[in-house]
Amino acid sequence: MIQLKDIQKVYRTDSIETLALSSISLDIAKGEFLSVMGPSGCGKSTLLNIMGLLDEPTGGKITIDEQTTEHLSDRQLAQFRNKKLGFIFQSYHLINDLKVLDNVELPLLYRNASAKERRQLAAAALEKVGLSNRVKHFPTQLSGGQKQRVAIARAIVGQPEIILADEPTGNLDSAMGNEIMDILLHLNKTESATIVMVTHDEHMAKKTHRLVRLFDGSQVQ
Amino acid sequence: MLKNYFKIAIAVLKRRKFFTFISLFGISFTLTILMVLTAFIDKVVNDNYPDRKRDRSLYINSMELRGPNAMNGGALSFYFLDHYARSLKIPVKVGISSGPNSTNTYINNKKIAINYKYTNADYWEITDYDFVEGKAFSRQQIANGDHVAIITEDTRNQYFGDETSVVGKYIEADNVQYRVNGVVKNVPITLYMLYSDIYLPYTASKSDQNANKGYSGGYTGILLADSKSDLPRMRKEYEEMVSRLPIPGKEWNRIYSHADSFITGYVRTGNEESSGMVYAITAISLFALLVMLLPTLNLVNINITRIMERSSEIGVRKAFGASSRALVYQFLVENLILTILGGLIGILLSWIVLQILNSAHLIPNLTLSLNPTVLFIALLICLVFGLLSGVYPAWRMSRLHVVNALKA
Q: Which residue of A has its CA nearest to B399?
A: A74
Where chain B has pLDDT below 50, the residues are: none
CATH number at residue A101: 3.40.50.300
In a domain, B269, yes or no: no
Element (H, E) at A145: helix A144-156
Q: How far apart are CA B204 and CA B98, in angstroms?
A: 13
Verify that B374 and B250 share a domain, yes or no.
no
Collect all residues of chain B within an 8 Å Cβ-Cβ radius of residue A93.
312-313, 315-316, 406
Whole-number pLDDT of residue B111: 86
Whole-number pLDDT of residue B269: 61
Collect all residues of chain A within an 8 Å Cβ-Cβ radius of residue B325.
75
Verify that B210 and B250 share a domain, yes or no.
yes
Pairwise CB contact (< 8 Å): B4 & A102? yes
Whole-number pLDDT of residue A221: 64
Which residues is A162 bridged to in the sheet?
A85, A194
ipTM above 0.95, yes or no: no
Collect all residues of chain A within an 8 Å Cβ-Cβ radius of residue B313.
93, 95
Verify that B79 and B220 share a domain, yes or no.
yes
In a domain, A154, yes or no: yes
Amino acid letter, A129: V
Q: For residue A56, give how far its alpha carbon lies from the nearest alpha carbon of chain B (Å).
A: 10
B11: contact with A, CB 8 A cutoff: yes
Collect all residues of chain B within an 8 Å Cβ-Cβ radius of residue A110.
317, 320-323, 326
B399: contact with A, CB 8 A cutoff: no
B315: contact with A, CB 8 A cutoff: yes
Q: Which of B229, B259, B289 is the last residue of a domain?
A: B259
Verify that B282 and B178 share a domain, yes or no.
no
The yes-or-no verdict on residue A155 having pLDDT over 80 is yes
To test the contact with chain B by mutation, choose from A47, A48, A50, A74 the residue with the greatest count of B C-beta atoms within 10 A, namely A74
Pairwise CB contact (< 8 Å): A95 & B315? no
The yes-or-no verdict on residue A52 having pLDDT over 80 is yes
Domain count, chain A: 1
Verify that B156 and B42 share a domain, yes or no.
no
In a domain, A140, yes or no: yes
Q: How far apart are CA B383 and CA B385, in angstroms?
A: 5
In a domain, A13, yes or no: no
Pairwise CB contact (< 8 Å): B322 & A83? no
- Render pLDDT for B344-384 as a digit per residue (tens, 0 to 9): 898 899 999 999 988 887 777 778 888 787 788 877 877 88
Domain count, chain B: 2
Distances (CA, A) of B360 to B126, B355, B365, B370: 32, 8, 11, 17
B386: contact with A, CB 8 A cutoff: no
Verify that B252 and B285 share a domain, yes or no.
no
CB pairs under 8 A between A and B: 75
Pairwise CB contact (< 8 Å): B403 & A54? yes
Verify that B288 and B245 share a domain, yes or no.
no
In a domain, A174, yes or no: yes
Q: How far apart are CA A187 and CA A162, in angstroms?
A: 11
Verify that B315 and B201 share a domain, yes or no.
no
Q: How far apart are CA B337 and CA B385, in angstroms?
A: 11
In a domain, B52, yes or no: no
Pairwise CB contact (< 8 Å): B8 & A97? yes
Pairwise CB contact (< 8 Å): A89 & B7? no
Verify that B111 and B253 share a domain, yes or no.
yes
In a domain, A22, yes or no: no
Verify that B380 and B288 share a domain, yes or no.
yes
Pairwise CB contact (< 8 Å): A107 & B320? yes
- Domain range for A186 is 31-57+74-219
Per DSSP bridges, beta strands B63-66 and B57-60 are unpaired
Name the 3-class secondary structure at A37.
Answer: strand
Verify that B248 and B315 share a domain, yes or no.
no
Collect all residues of chain A within an 8 Å Cβ-Cβ radius of residue B317.
106, 110
Q: Which residue of A has its CA nearest to B315?
A: A93
Give yes or no for a contact between B258 and B244, defined as CB atoms under 8 angstroms apart. no
B317: contact with A, CB 8 A cutoff: yes
| Secondary structure letter of residue A35 according to DSSP | E
Return the half-sphere exposure (C-beta side, CA atoms, 13 A cut-off) of residue B63: 28
- Render pLDDT for A166-211 as a digit per residue (tens, 0 to 9): 998 888 888 888 888 999 999 899 888 899 999 988 888 899 999 9
- Domain range for B338 is 2-47+278-407
Greater model confidence, A125 or B272: A125
